[in-house]
Amino acid sequence: MLLTKLSRYSCFDPFSSTVRRNSRAHGKSEEDQFYYLSSSSSISSISMIFQVAQTIPSEILIEICSYLHPQDLYSLASVCKRYRSLLWSRGSTTTQQIWRTSRMRYVTNLSLAPPLGMSEQQYIWLMVLLKKCMFCDEKDKFELTMHWEFKMYCCNKCLNEKTVSRKTLLNEWNVPEALLVCFPQLQRNKNIQDPPLYLKRNVLKTLNHYNKLKSSERVQWIKQQENKILKIQSENEKYNNIHDQTRYDHTERVERLLRKLHGFYDCPRRRSA
């Protein structure tokens, strides 16, 4: 196969259309989730790949894509602008169908459709392809957790940096207590000593919107937001469970559960901010 790992040429954030170029100085790890071109490929072979990539008829390309695993689709999207346009469009029904078909065909336990507003490629990236913390280089599975409430797969350190506690919102940010029901919250476990967390960017966005409302509109708006948050709480739990079923094998799930129970009964020191 000429196509093996591709990321030394280009990779991109699944949550934006921005193309990020990797530095040649960056090392290549076995755990890297991106693909590179095989070191045995000659310059002429690489040129041939790009030439063929530009000339395959769209109908044939779409048919080929329907038989590829999501990881291969991601790799193919890194080959050239044409493939990226086909495979990374959020609004294209063809793009969404390609990824949906791949998900249903190859990803066990992931038959549930993505939530409203999330594209298939974003969904698969979060559920399957992302192999490290979204914000740092942590790759240890047992240090990483999916927090579907915030659409984040990250380590505990980065979670703490991105979130704020109820106490801090009330005492330092001076957020009215009545507004807390308007923010998506993360309850990491049922330990009462572990209060809910709120994503900072969500809080700031919601406060900005709230402050623009007329006084006469605020009470009704708060009620609407509260109902919206309550509605998605059960959905969040469902996606978190599906993620764990999809990403981890039985042994890993048991180990994660034991660690979680240990954290619950050990009652570690909780942060205050």
| DSSP summary character for residue 98 | H
171 against 51, higher pLDDT? 171
Token pair for 41: 């490929």
Give me the DSSP letters along 106-142. H-TT--SPPPTT--HHHHHIIIII--S-SSS----GG
pLDDT, residue 158, reads 96
Share the mean pLDDT of the chain: 79
pLDDT, residue 257, reads 75
Rounded distance between C-alpha atoms, residue 75 and residue 88, angstroms: 11
Rounded distance between C-alpha atoms, residue 180 and residue 197, angstroms: 11
Residue 38 scores a pLDDT above 80: no
Token pair for 229: 């948050």
Token pair for 143: 């240090």
Q: In the structure, what pLDDT confidence band is assigned to residue 110 with cuts at 50, 70 and 90?
A: very high
pLDDT, residue 11, reads 43
Q: In the structure, what pLDDT confidence band is assigned to residue 13 with cuts at 50, 70 and 90?
A: low
Question: Hunting for tokens 């990779």 — which residue is that?
Answer: 11
37 against 198, higher pLDDT? 198
Angle among Cα 132, 135, 136 to the nearest 5 degrees reads 65
Q: Give the up-direction half-sphere exposure of residue 136: CA atoms within 13 A in the CB hemisphere.
A: 14
Q: Give the up-direction half-sphere exposure of residue 3: CA atoms within 13 A in the CB hemisphere.
A: 17
For 200-247, write each residue's pLDDT tens digit: 999 999 999 999 999 999 999 999 999 999 888 888 989 999 998 898
Q: In the structure, what pLDDT confidence band is assigned to residue 36 with cuts at 50, 70 and 90?
A: very low
pLDDT, residue 97, reads 95
Token pair for 115: 């939530």
pLDDT, residue 243, reads 92
pLDDT, residue 20, reads 38
Element (H, E) at 234: helix 215-247
Angle among Cα 154, 158, 164 to the nearest 5 degrees reads 115
Backbone angles phi, psi at 175, to 5 degrees: -80, 130
Residue 268, helix vs strand vs coil: coil
Q: In the structure, what pLDDT confidence band is assigned to residue 9 with cuts at 50, 70 and 90?
A: very low
pLDDT, residue 263, reads 58
Q: In the structure, what pLDDT confidence band is assigned to residue 28 with cuts at 50, 70 and 90?
A: very low
Strands (E), the chain: 3-6, 11-12, 19-20, 36-37, 144-147, 152-155, 163-165, 185-186, 197-199
64 against 50, higher pLDDT? 64
Question: Hunting for tokens 């476990």 — which residue is that?
Answer: 189
Q: Looking at the whole model, is its pTM more than 0.85?
A: no
pLDDT, residue 193, reads 67
pLDDT average, residue stretch 111-121 = 93
261 against 143, higher pLDDT? 143
